[in-house]
Amino acid sequence: MEEPIQDLAPRISDCLKVIYDMQERGQKVSTSAVSERLGVSDATVTMLFKDFAAAGWVEHAPYRGVRLTPLGERKAMEVIRHHRLLELYLARELGYSWDKVHDEADKLEHVISEEFEDKLDALLGYPTADPHGDPIPSKDGVIPLRTGIPLPQLSQGQKALILRVSDQDPEKLRYLGQLSLYPETHVEVIEQAPFGGPLRIRVGEKPRQIEHMLGVELAEHIIVTPIEAGEMANK
């Protein structure tokens, strides 16, 4: 229960990660949803839920899913810190494209030592976000909060900065990369077709801007923060 996170079986830390991820998105954490994401049977997840409840990581209401306790959240933070540090490392130091970092980090995170993590952290300059803009928790489990809104909620004509692109599907990431929709990029909604229709957006800063069409499906995963006109002038 108080064992270091490295010693958790891979399935256990993977499951913790999925629970946290779903909960962060405000979704209900059900047996079937988790089993699908982990690629195992429902029966397996039921057992994991029971084990987690016994360890005090979740509250488990049988037949209606699971919710992380504060302890469980702390454990999840450790797993996620490992994962995101590795993602950033793979992208920045080894030149991985952002659609490939997730899978490789998934394998590495189960074997690296505390010392390895510390050295990565230092090498990367104690970073606070991974290549998708997802925040990297600090060593003591504090997650740097940067709130934003999904791109489709941006009012027309409002300029904004991309904070996160929180999708894991390599295909989609590759596509978004082609449109230069990375974190820290400037973006503006030119118009949005009604009833959840596609968006017309302008990407990039003044000299080199490009327009694209983008489905809401994808746009929902792009989290942005509006920027004042004043801030633009500085550039």
| Residues within the interface to a second copy (CB under 8 A) | 93-96, 100, 104, 107-108, 110-113, 115-116, 119-120, 123
What lies within 8 Å, CB to CB, of 116 at 6+ separation is none
DSSP string, 18-40: HHHHHHHTT----HHHHHHHHTS
Q: How far apart are CA 194 and CA 67, in angstroms?
A: 36
3 state DSSP class of 184: coil
Asked if 5 is part of the footprint of DNA (rule: CB under 7 A), the reply reads no
Interface with DNA: number of residues (CB under 7 A): 22
Task: Tell me which of a second copy, DNA, none is bound by residue 40, counting a contact when its beta carbon lies within the kind-specific cut-off of 5 to 8 angstroms.
Answer: DNA
Query: Would you give the binding string for DNA spanning residues 50-89, x where CB under 7 A is met?
Result: x---------x-xxxx------------------------
Exposed e or buried b per residue across 158-172, where buried means at least 16 C-beta atoms within 10 angstroms of its C-beta: ebbebbbbbbeeeee
Which residue type sits at 188? E
CB of 111 to a second copy, least distance (A): 4
Q: Is 3 in the site for DNA (CB under 7 A)?
A: no
Q: Per-residue x/- marks for DNA, 171-190, CB under 7 A?
A: --------------------
Q: Which residues of 23-36 are buried (b: 16+ CB within 10 A; e: fewer)?
A: beeeeebbbebbbe
Report in angstroms how near the CB of residue 95 gets to a second copy at its nearest.
6
Q: What token pair was written down for 3?
A: 């064992």
Nearest CB to DNA, comparing residues 58 and 85: 58
Residue 18-57 contact track with DNA, rule CB under 7 A, x = bound: ------------xxxx-----xxxxxxxxx-xx-------
Closest to a second copy by CB, 18 vs 101, is 101
SS3 annotation, 44-92: HHHHHHHHHHHHCCEEECCCCCEEECHHHHHHHHHHHHHHHHHHHHHHH
**Residue type for position 232:** M
> Which one of a second copy, DNA, none is in contact with 111 (Cβ closer than 5 to 8 A by kind)?
a second copy
Query: Measured from the CB atom, is 110 or 164 closer to a second copy?
Result: 110
Residues lying near DNA in the complex (CB under 7 A) are found at 9, 11, 30-33, 39-47, 49-50, 60, 62-65
